[in-house]
Amino acid sequence: MQQAVSAIEARGAGASAHENWPFAVEQATPAIGAFIGGIDLRAPLDEPTYLALRRALIRYKVLFFRDQDITPAAHVALARRFGKLEIHPVFAHHPDHPELVLFDKSDKKRGRENIYHSDVSWREVPSMGSILRCVECPSTGGDTIWANMALAYENLPGDVKARLDGLLAVHDMMPLFGAALPPEQRITLRAQNPAVTHPVVRTHPESGERILFVNEAFTTHFANYSEIAGFRFGFDLKLAEMDLLQYLFRQAAAPEYQVRLKWERNTIAFWDNRAAQHYAVQDYYPAVRRMMRATIIGDRPV
């Protein structure tokens, strides 16, 4: 593991000034995000460029690339450069590339991703990152927001941080994905994807940053709240647990931790799913919004 740095140091503009990037970097907000230029993602990444992009991803949490007219095969190859790829058990896939998830929204299908979340946190080994390309998008609306959850943790009051020490949370895909399925499919999905437990605060395996790792899409409850908090009486304990979890969920919604991207055709966003949450703004219905996403398998949170 690399030497640990604070969330502020990891995103600092001063650090960027001393980095000899092999591409153009324009920081998007003080908290998170950078636009990357002078790079053609259709071509395989050489080792120096790959390593530099990985460093930039860790620092800025989400990288934006404009005018990247890549094929689905090139999209998969780009993502595979950063690790093994997952196949999502629910979303539609590209017919030739099952690693590519298809988001195809129109007047016939409204978007449902408008909730702050970390992709597949319901897996025992959640994703390292996702690479999302805009195939077709409305002229206005359909933006995506990302939030820096390392900064969110760093800015928590000290007494809250103390309450989170050793706390575990349960992540479950079923409340979001299972509700739309018929009972027999729901039973199969549950058998294949049991709920999992992760630390409420995880450590980034590359930067050493501490990251708030609960999200309102998939985190259902704490696994060991009564052991950590101590028991008084039933409803008091449960209300305190719910209050704390809701408080942690709200951290992602702070504008000070966010960047908002206006999509254009052939824009690509590559985010560190270990350290960022995102929210797809559903304000464009009934317009067409088509996206493709490849998701890179990560590591078990610790």
Q: What is the pLDDT of residues 190-239, one digit of tens each?
A: 899 999 999 999 999 999 999 999 999 999 999 999 888 876 777 788 89
Query: CATH homologous superfamily of domain 1-302?
Result: Clavaminate synthase-like (3.60.130.10)
Residue ranges of domains in the chain: 1-302
In the prediction, which pLDDT does 18 show?
Answer: 60
Tell me: pLDDT of 184 over 80.
yes
- Residue among 97, 202, 274, 293 flagged as catalytic: 293
- Residue among 75, 119, 123, 133 flagged as catalytic: 119
- Residue among 59, 97, 117, 171 flagged as catalytic: 117
In order, the DSSP letters of 81-105 are TTS-B---SSS-B-SS-TTEEEEEE
Q: What is the mean pLDDT of the chain?
A: 91
In the prediction, which pLDDT does 5 show?
Answer: 43
Tell me: pLDDT of 187 over 60.
yes
H/E run at residue 257: none
In the prediction, which pLDDT does 4 show?
Answer: 42
Q: Does 243 qualify as catalytic in the annotation?
A: no
In order, the DSSP letters of 207-223 are T--EEE---TTTEEEES
- Residue among 11, 171, 278, 289 flagged as catalytic: 278
Q: Give the pLDDT confidence of 66-83 residue by residue, as tens digits.
A: 999 999 999 999 999 999
Torsion, Cα of 217, 116, 31, 285 (10° steps): 160
Q: Does 75 qualify as catalytic in the annotation?
A: no
Q: Does 117 qualify as catalytic in the annotation?
A: yes
Question: pTM value?
Answer: 0.91
Q: Does 93 qualify as catalytic in the annotation?
A: no
